[in-house]
Amino acid sequence: MGPAFRGRGQISLEFLLIFGVLMIMLVYSVRVATFAKDSPSVDVLRVQVALEEKSLADVISGTINQVYAQGPGSKATGYAKLFYLRNPDYLEKAWGVKEPRVLVTYGSLGVENGTCVAVVNGTGNTTLIPRGGDKNVLCSPSLYSRNLLENGTVWNGTGVIVTVNGTSRNIYGLVIAPSNIPPVVKITVEWNPDEGEAWEFNETAGEIRININPGG
C-alpha cells in the first residue's frame, strides 16, 4: 500500500500544479479580453485606438491632397475601416474619458497642419497631448494649408472645449458618437469653387463630406 499511496499523492500534486497554472492563464485571459483597468492590455488597447485614429486622419488628408492637386472641380473618395473607434467602452478604457466622442478637425492642433483625430470627453474638458509618448491626438499633415479650428461656420457651429499645452480653448470639428460610426466610413472630398469651405458627417450614409475652397 505504501508505493501505491505515494503514486496517488504524486498524481494529486501534479494535478494541483496543472490546475493552478490553468487558473492563472484563465484569469489573465479574462483580463485581456475585458481590458481590465491597470492591466497590460489597456496599453495594447490604447495603441490600437491610436493607430485607428491615425488611419482615419491619413485617409482624410490623403483624399484632400488628391483633390487639391487636381484643382477646381475635382472630386475624390476614400474609405476608412474602423473597429475600435466604434466601441465607447474601448474608448473609455483606452483614454479614460466619459461618454466618449470622436473629434475630427483640421488645422494646426498637432505638430503640422492637417487632419487631426482625437477621442474627447462628452461631459467636459479634455486634455489633448499632440506630442510625446503620451500623445492622444493623432494628426496627418496635408498639402492644403488651412486652419479651420476656430471657424464655426465650416463645422455648423459644433465644437468642444479642450486643453492644449496648458491652455483651454474652444475648437470646432466633427464631434461623432461612436455608435453612429459605421464599420467603413466613406470620405468624399470635392473642390467646388462656388461653395464655401464645409465639413459634415452624414449619419445615415456613414459618410464624411468635405468641400475645400482654397480661393474662398
**pLDDT tens digit at each of 216 positions of the chain:** 454 444 555 556 666 656 555 655 554 444 444 444 444 488 889 999 999 999 999 999 999 999 999 999 999 999 999 999 999 999 999 998 999 999 999 998 866 789 999 999 988 899 988 888 888 999 999 999 999 999 999 999 888 999 888 889 999 999 999 999 999 999 999 999 999 999 999 999 999 999 999 977
- Is 211 within 8 Å of 190 (Cβ atoms)? yes
User: DSSP string covering 148-197, please?
Assistant: -TT-TTTTTT-EEEEEETTEEEEEE-EEE-GGG--SEEEEEEE--TTS--
75-81 and 184-190 as β-strands: parallel, antiparallel, unpaired? antiparallel
- Is 128 within 8 Å of 137 (Cβ atoms)? yes
Dihedral angle over CA of 211, 139, 110, 89, nearest 10: 110
Q: What is the pLDDT of residue 116?
A: 95
